[in-house]
Amino acid sequence: MNNMLTAKEIRQSFLDYFKSKNHQIVPSAPMVIKDDPTLMFTNAGMNPWKGIILGNHPVKYNRVADSQKCLRVSGKHNDLEEVGHDTYHHTMFEMLGNWSFGDYFKQDAIDFAWEYIVNVLKIDPKNLYATVFEGSQADGLARDDEAAAIWRKHLPDDHIINGNRHDNFWEMGDTGPCGPCSEIHVDSRSENEKAQVPGRELVNKDHPQVIEIWNIVFMQYNRKADGSLEPLAMKVIDTGMGFERLVRTIQGKQSNYDTDVFQPMLKRIAQVCNAQCKLPNAEGKIEYGKDENTDIAMRVIADHIRTIAFAITDGQLPSNEKAGYVIRRILRRAVRYGYTFLGQRDAFLYQLVPQLIDDMGEAYPELKKQEAQITPVIRAEEEAFLRTLDKGITLLDKLMEDARKDGKTEISGVDVFTLKDTYGFPLDLTELILRENHMTTNEDEYNKALAHQKQMARDANKQDLGDWTVLVDDTQCTMQNETEFVGYDQLECEAHIIKYRQVSQKGRDFYQVVFDKTPFYAEMGGEVGDTGELRMQNAECKMQNAECRMQNAECKMQNAKCKMQNASR
């Protein structure tokens, strides 16, 4: 095993190898997906090729290889809660992959993988295991003896392991392209541990040192709506190799975070946090590898800054909706770990962006190009959340303290809801802090409080609409169904009321009024409607001090100069 290769060299060696095998090297697709309603983020290396695999896009290159940035924080691929607490789960990660669209298939795919891992990277073959699909009686599929026979050229029989449908049959979804797959696992344990328990017994058993590093998918079937399989017109090779796990293997480390993928960032986190640490007697003492809680916090931050920066680079700003909410949640999770365990009371994440560019900017030049956008966005988000965080943690600490005094390990769900609804303290953050303190909340109470709040909101928005009072009949006005807009030329005008009605909402009464003409532009196409004032000479109308809205224009008329003379008829 060659321990001298750096992460950058390993990534480049993969691309160079497949370039030598006539693969087109392409840049990573965006991590944030904007044109696929089924996905918010690229969560696997094959996502950018989905259109080709489904037959919706033409094949431009028969052989392709790349390093694809991926994100797994939602749906069934959700690793967020594990990140930082173990040494190999990540939110954002890189997937090295090579594809064949109707070109080579099992023989070349397996041979390429073996040649690269053993001859280029110099991984000892005795530590390698391959899995093959064991077959499925329900699908009428036999064991993948073809793949097993190819592996037998490279590995002894006891290093070729049958895998079930869950592990060794890949499917895009309930319908669509699918097929058996063959995984490559590496055993990185000590020789003494290997002598006691063979690696084959630990494959796919979640052992942290016996891990899958590469998956080769043989897409050869199409799953129909009735569940049956039919052969694909074009067979596809789809491979994915976890870059961070591969580097860990090559560099002989026990943790992804001990490699040079993360070590420069962890050192920079220590420097930044030591410089502005507010923990008592902790200045200059934050260092990775010295304290479990500190290590977890530093791993969380090292992982999350990658996700945040790449998401913003791809055009996804933190927000309160959909993909934006996911990114905001990740950013706030990083801020909170820095606040609680690293003494950070001021924004600090944004100061890590230059280090990220040093680490990954060569492979992903878009980071450097977007630096001027990434940094201020992160800083603004941090500063806004820190104000909420300080108040929320103080209140939550008091709730936990009171519960302990009463001998309880559960706090009121109503109090948790108040933290979220009144103080803006995120529920997932409350739950995380409670878990760290071996406490829980009453979910039923929380859900009841949430339901009550939603009902109150619905009641508050309820309208009681009166009947229309028509002041101009068909013979007197030709504008019954449409108000003439004169705002292109005039800022004020005289107008007649065609009809009006009383509206009651949130305990207030006001009137909706329809005029024969108006200078007020309505809300259309995302534009904001004009505002203005209704002035009336005669008092008979009973709307002199009311809030008036024009039907069609939906415009509040306040503080403008529009004169509506003779409006009361």
Residue 463 pLDDT class (50, 70, 90 cuts): low
The 3-state DSSP class for residue 177 equals strand
Q: What is the pLDDT of residue 284?
A: 63
Q: What is the pLDDT of residue 524?
A: 52
Lowest mean pLDDT among 38-42, 253-257, 314-318, 379-383: 38-42
Q: What is the pLDDT of residue 78?
A: 54
pLDDT per position as a tens digit, 348-384: 999 999 999 999 999 999 999 999 999 999 999 999 8
314/565: higher pLDDT: 314
User: Does the pLDDT value for residue 179 go beyond 50?
Assistant: yes
Q: What is the pLDDT of residue 24?
A: 97
What percentage of the chain exceeds 70 in pLDDT? Answer: 87
Cβ 113 vs Cβ 246: under 8 Å = no
Work out the average pLDDT over 97-114: 96
Candidate ranges 75-84, 242-251, 390-399, 427-436; pick with highest mean pLDDT:
242-251
Work out the average pLDDT over 118-137: 96
Q: What is the mean pLDDT of the chain?
A: 85
Residue 298 pLDDT class (50, 70, 90 cuts): very high
User: Does the pLDDT value for residue 327 go beyond 90?
Assistant: yes
Residue whose entry in the numeric block shows the structure tokens 């996804």: 316
User: Does the pLDDT value for residue 474 go beyond 90?
Assistant: no
280/121: higher pLDDT: 121
Please give the Cα distance from 403 to 381 (Å, whole number).
32
Residue 11 pLDDT class (50, 70, 90 cuts): very high
Work out the average pLDDT over 68-77: 74
Please give the Cα distance from 327 to 27 (Å, whole number).
23
Question: Minimal CA–CA distance to 521: which of 530, 512, 513?
Answer: 530
The 3-state DSSP class for residue 407 equals coil
pLDDT per position as a tens digit, 403-414: 999 999 999 899
Question: Minimal CA–CA distance to 202: which of 182, 181, 216, 188?
Answer: 188
pLDDT per position as a tens digit, 544-564: 333 344 433 333 333 333 344
User: Does the pLDDT value for residue 131 go beyond 50?
Assistant: yes
Phi-psi region of 351 (alpha: psi -120 to 50; beta: other; left: phi over 0): alpha
User: Does the pLDDT value for residue 152 go beyond 60?
Assistant: yes
Residues 6+ apart with CB under 8 A from 372: none
User: Does the pLDDT value for residue 235 go beyond 50?
Assistant: yes
Q: What is the pLDDT of residue 74?
A: 57
Residue 476 pLDDT class (50, 70, 90 cuts): very low
The 3-state DSSP class for residue 231 equals strand
Query: What are the backbone angles phi and psi of residue 230, rounded to the nearest 5°?
Result: -135, 150
Burial class (CB in 10 A: 0-12, 13-18, 19+), 205: exposed
Which DSSP letter does residue 84 get?
T
Residue 478 pLDDT class (50, 70, 90 cuts): very low
Which DSSP letter does residue 174 get?
S
User: Does the pLDDT value for residue 173 go beyond 80?
Assistant: no
Q: What is the pLDDT of residue 507?
A: 67
Alpha helices in 169-208 (DSSP H): 191-196
Residue 418 pLDDT class (50, 70, 90 cuts): confident
Cβ 189 vs Cβ 124: under 8 Å = no
Question: Which amino acid belongs to residue 434?
Answer: L
b/e per residue 263-296 (b: at least 16 CB within 10 A): bebbebbbebbbebbebeeeeeebebeeeeebbb
Lowest mean pLDDT among 504-513, 519-528, 550-559: 550-559
Q: What is the pLDDT of residue 496?
A: 83
pLDDT per position as a tens digit, 436-452: 899 999 888 888 888 88
Cβ 112 vs Cβ 323: under 8 Å = no
Which pairs count as long-range contacts for 415-424, CB under 8 Å and 24+ apart, including other chains?
Answer: 415/441, 416/441, 416/446, 417/445, 417/446, 417/449, 417/450, 417/453, 418/449, 419/392, 419/395, 421/449, 421/453, 423/388, 423/391, 423/392, 423/395, 424/388, 424/392
